[in-house]
Amino acid sequence: MSDPEALTRPAAAAGPAAAGTAAAGLPRPWLVADIGGTNARFGWLAEGADHISHVATLPAAGHAGPADAAADYLARVARSLGGVYRPPRAAAFAVATAVGTDRIAFTNSGWAFSCREAQAALGLEALLVLNDFEALALSLPRLQASQVQPWPGAPERAALPGRATLAVIGPGTGLGVAGLVPAPGGGWVAVPGEGGHASLSAADDFDAALLAAVRREHAHVSAERLLSGIGLPVLHSAVATVLGQPAETLAAELIVERGLNGSCAVCSRTLDSFCALLGSFAGNVALVMGARGGVYIGGGIVPRLGERFFQSHFRQRFEAKGRFQAYLQAVPTLLITDTLAALNGGVQALAQHKP
């Protein structure tokens, strides 16, 4: 576990529990989890609590699967709470892979599990399993000011009256995309998809040259092909080719590091192109989904860019959609800075679930 003391304090950064959870049909306590290929993050929502607490991260290595890791986590919570501990009644697992069947197999790890068997093993009355970007989308309405960083000068989240459609894109290992639509009666419906595999388009001659360079190796240049952890080395190689520089093979982490510290001009230009292309793609997502309530940027790459992101052409490209520029000028864009936001998406899923 990355933070042994996490079990003894509330996770303020995880934000408030979903509005209306006290009236939800599923009884508490609730167990929520955000499970990736390397780590599983867990959180606890006690009866009557407003915030997720006892947040902890357990490595996939050393655990047979999510249910085993959850049992380990619950044993730690039980030791921390002592005599007041009660086993969870329901749980939500956000998983970094496709869902829809009882058998869940992770793309980037050896973990696989049966939803029914996991529910039985943990003694749960209900277990909801959702895609990680579905969970991240569900977290959006409840994100607090401390969990996001809005684009300077862009509209605030409250600019539109009432509830409006939202979208989230996340450059991480891959590129996730999801939408969130208001539902009749006050809930929300997450709309997960595979938008990261949509074709990437050029906004200027430099973009066009980049895509042409990538197309020599890849017949289809998707957004994920360049705007992700696996894509940054591809983008870096293309930038070097277009600039006529040697195409040194670098990992994504090193490209970001050298681009930020200024030790590599090609890496620096790669970050500029990354932000600009991401802005164009985010604008496309806003138009396709009608996300007038805001487009949120998740994933692990952009937060590492710090102020470099907010000094980039992201927002300029986001708005540069011809006759619909004014439409996009009114759409907020916000960076999610809280890496635990998906846990709140699990809470929202449990809160609006009808047994």
Binding-site residue numbers for ATP are 33-38
Distance CA 212, CA 301 (A): 24
- Specify the 3-state DSSP secondary structure of 220: coil
Distance CA 223, CA 213 (A): 15
The DSSP code for 169 is E
Task: Provide the residue count of the chain.
Answer: 355
Distance CA 79, CA 9 (A): 13
Distance CA 128, CA 30 (A): 11
**Residue 62: phi, psi to the nearest 5?**
95, -5
> Residue 318's closest CA among 207, 100, 154?
154
Pairing of the two strands 166-171 and 175-182: antiparallel
* Binding site feature residues: 33-38
Longest dimension (CA), the chain: 67
User: Which residues does 235 contact at the CB level (< 8 Å), separation at least 6?
Assistant: 210, 214, 226, 227, 270, 273, 274, 277
Distance CA 54, CA 2 (A): 13
Tell me the torsion sign for CA atoms 321, 323, 328, 329.
positive
What secondary structure does DSSP assign to 65-107, as a single string?
Answer: SHHHHHHHHHHHHHHHHGGG----SEEEEEESS--SSSEEE-S
What the block records as the tokens of 160 is 């539109």
The DSSP code for 60 is S
